[in-house]
Amino acid sequence: MSATATPMADFLTKSPYTPPSWASHLRPLPSHTFSLAHRPTPIHRWNLPNLPNGTELWIKRDDFTGMELSGNKVRKLEFLMADAVEQQADTVITIGGIQSNHCRATTVASNYLNLDTHLILRTSKLLADGDPGLVGNLLVERLVGANVHLISKEEYSSIGSEALTSALKEKLEKEGKKPYVIPVGGSNSLGTWGYIEAAREIEEQLKCRTDGLKFDDIVAKGKGYAMNTSEELKFLKDLASATSVILDPVYSGKAAYGLINEMTKDPKSWEGKKILFIHTGGLLGLYDKVDQMASLMGNWSRMDVQESVPRKEGVGKMF
């Protein structure tokens, strides 16, 4: 289950884009794309315990698109960054939550291409006036030099992302910059081509036609964006222990939790099915949940070294 890999020599190169035949009628049609992700991401069997009889569960690892850029967000950025460079931008503006995977990936991609990054990050009213810290995605963003602008959730709600990015764009233009605005999550018509390419990649990997697949919407409602129940977090811990696949708490973790719940409630309807689960990345989001997950991590102890074990000063080299 593999498609032809992109040669490493093509990394960070801009090239003309040819869409799959089944999407060539869509508009706007991108003229170019940047090679930013390590693709194709692998697909392998995911041996979760207690699956319904005859059920095959496979997982596509978009968490393997690259360490700093890991996750599916970079797929959109391959098209958005090509457009930014085409428009001769020198600065990229985007917006999202305080632990936004998209904002982290945008910062890294921009830095690769020698573009400045300005992030508008949404946080609580209590934290909007102080240093945002160095946890998870924030650490990566600040390491590579992002300019971080904090906004409270209340301000975000009453002003809106479009007005906020427009205001920052106007300010930077007055300073002589040429900013390019990417919306929340990179979610616009141009960014959508990243997922069209993902569909083509899966089609090639599975050696099947897209019209031979069945799609359905199964709603798995949680507490809200980036909010988790203790059961969800325990599920993530148990899943990691059982399969070594680590999911994020915002997207893929909730999706997998919902999938397993559906299978548990009605195993008969899932028997004999072949399912592909797409891991969209977001591992760094777990760092924002360390306090909630601490009670689940009890597997440690102080090593008890008996007095009978021989000792000699300097025997154990530190380096």
Residues with a catalytic annotation lie at 100
Residues 85, 34 contacting (CB under 8 angstroms)? yes
DSSP strand pairing (179-181 vs 32-34): unpaired
How far apart are alpha carbons 1 and 56 in whole angstroms?
A: 15
CA atoms in the 13 A half-sphere facing the CB of 224: 1
Residues 276, 45 contacting (CB under 8 angstroms)? no
How far apart are alpha carbons 46 and 217 in whole angstroms?
A: 22
Q: Token match 């934290």: residue?
A: 127
- Secondary structure class of 53 (helix, strand, coil): coil
- Secondary structure class of 272 (helix, strand, coil): coil
Residues 140, 284 contacting (CB under 8 angstroms)? yes
Phi/psi for 279 (5° steps) reads -85, 110
How far apart are alpha carbons 194 and 88 in whole angstroms?
A: 21
How far apart are alpha carbons 247 and 275 in whole angstroms?
A: 17
The first and second tokens of residue 180, run together, are 């390019």
How far apart are alpha carbons 16 and 19 in whole angstroms?
A: 10
